[in-house]
Amino acid sequence: MIGDKLMLMNEAKKIVGNQPKWAIKNMHKALSLHSWLNTPEENKRLEACKIILKYDNQKNEILNWVDQSGYNER
């Protein structure tokens, strides 16, 4: 389960890019305002923002799991 979260986070980070949390919150708000006008690419970015913000609070749990298990993404 934690491995799945890590995979989701990695995919979401690739979509959103290396942005600070405040920028991701702003992106989420902007893309949520009139979501019916979003292109498919913008909808994908909105979902990535939701994933990052949802699991950001659990970041320490995921990082601890990675350290303990020796999980390697390669």
Q: What is the pLDDT of residue 10?
A: 86
CB 25, CB 50: distance < 8 Å: no
What is d(CA 15, CA 46) in angstroms, rounded to the nearest whole number?
A: 10
Does pTM surpass 0.85? no
Confidence of residue 43 (pLDDT cuts 50, 70, 90): very high
